[in-house]
Amino acid sequence: MKIPKITLEDHVAVPGTADKVPDRFEPEAWQKISHALLDIHGQLLSDMDAAGIGMSVLSLNCPAIQGIPDKKRAVEAARRANDYLAEQVARNPKRFQAFAALPLQDPDAAAKELVRCVKQLGFRGALVNSFSQIDVDDSAVYYDLPQYWDFWGTVESLDVPFYLHPRDPLPSRMTSFDGQPWLRGSVWGFTVDTATHALRLMSCGIFDKYPKLTVILGHLGETLPFLMWRIDNRISMASRGCPAKKKLGEYFKKNFYVTTSGQFCTQSLLDTILWLGADRILFSVDHPFEKMSVAANWFDNLDTISEADWLKMARGNAERVLKLDAAK
């Protein structure tokens, strides 16, 4: 019998924040999704039970806090959201845990909020929806910049993971998608932006300063396991002053974990295992944007990996990385 799985990328919304329909969804489809984002102890729990999932680590859907340019509002919204997440976990802590939402518009405030969430609320880390808009709508700030280095020191000192989750690139920065809007969002735009963000972190030297820092990427690493050899090869031929002291692939293998969220493809999983190893891969779904039943049916019926590796990815790695209690 399969053990109850743990899934890390299941999204919820704070009441009052799921009303706006994202451009990539039809209103009817978003109505179902927004209901699922809010129905934690009903639909989500029922879907977990049906899929053999024992625990879900909750996080806000994108762009959430990262889409609030006003710093004060972002700080206040993050605190309210985290208090709400803590309330949901408290109702059923054996089945739910949470990742903190952080106002990275203000790095100092984000560090303080992460400390509060980990030390006081018992959160298992943070999930941040890629870049933050700051002061004006048409802005995109990434976390390799110098003002974020102290924040990363806080993450390392707390010994919790930072889940770097995608969001839509801003329209002003999406000109390569002009005329083909179907390539935006989770089809391709998410991956391009998040993979680039992760490479910025690897390149800037942050993992040399904070070697125990842990970052999680969804969707089997946003294509990076399949491209890392070429990335390192080309940098070695023309580094152009890259400050990282090691090959980027070394940071990827040592400082990153990836999840299966929204990427239920056996060939892709096998390729990722060959690059990172089964110890660095965690089962996840991406609820409610993916069906738990589809993810679980694929994962539970894998016949191309060992039982030991399956158990690691299903639950063991998450228990270790998130410091969860042993399976009940």
Mean pLDDT across 63-84? 94
Classify residue 17 as left (phi > 0), alpha (psi -120 to 50) or beta.
alpha
- Alpha-carbon torsion (218, 222, 228, 231), positive or negative: negative
- The pLDDT of residue 63 is above 70: yes
pLDDT band for position 30 (cuts 50, 70, 90): low
Average pLDDT, the chain: 91
pLDDT confidence of residue 238? 81
Is residue 326 situated within a structural domain?
A: no
- The pLDDT of residue 283 is above 70: yes
pLDDT confidence of residue 27? 67
pLDDT confidence of residue 21? 47
Q: How many domains does the chain have?
A: 1
Give the β-pairing of 126-129 and 256-259. Answer: unpaired
pLDDT confidence of residue 16? 58
Given a contact cutoff of 8 angstroms between Cβ atoms, the answer to whether 200 and 240 are in contact is no
Range of the domain at 72: 5-321
Is residue 248 situated within a structural domain?
A: yes
DSSP letter for each residue of 61-126: PSSGGGG---HHHHHHHHHHHHHHHHHHHHH-TTTEEE-B---TTSHHHHHHHHHHHHHTS----E
Mean pLDDT across 227-233? 94
Condensed to tens digits (0 to 9), the pLDDT of residues 260-275 reads 999 999 999 999 999 9
Is residue 327 situated within a structural domain?
A: no
286 part of the active site: yes
Condensed to tens digits (0 to 9), the pLDDT of residues 34-46 reads 788 888 999 999 9
Domain CATH for 129: 3.20.20.140
Mean pLDDT across 85-92? 97
What does pTM read for this prediction? Answer: 0.94
Condensed to tens digits (0 to 9), the pLDDT of residues 171-215 reads 787 788 888 887 778 888 888 999 999 999 999 999 999 999 999
Q: Is 150 exposed, middle or buried (0-12, 13-18, 19+ CB in 10 A)?
A: exposed
Is residue 309 situated within a structural domain?
A: yes
- The pLDDT of residue 162 is above 70: yes
- The pLDDT of residue 328 is above 60: no
37 vs 61: CA distance, rounded Å: 8
pLDDT confidence of residue 170? 85
Q: Name the 3-class secondary structure at 38.
A: helix
| 216 compared with 30, residue with greater pLDDT | 216
Pick the catalytic residue from 286, 300, 303, 325: 286
Please state, in angstroms and as integers, the Cα–Cα distance from residue 210 to each residue in 97, 131, 214, 306, following that order.
26, 21, 9, 33
- The pLDDT of residue 26 is above 80: no
Mean pLDDT across 307-322? 97
| 123 compared with 239, residue with greater pLDDT | 123
- The pLDDT of residue 327 is above 50: no
Is residue 315 situated within a structural domain?
A: yes
Q: For the chain, what percent of residues have pLDDT higher than 90?
A: 78
pLDDT band for position 17 (cuts 50, 70, 90): low
Is residue 156 situated within a structural domain?
A: yes
- From 29-38, 106-115, 217-226, 247-256, the region with the lowest mean pLDDT: 29-38
Mean pLDDT across 95-105? 97
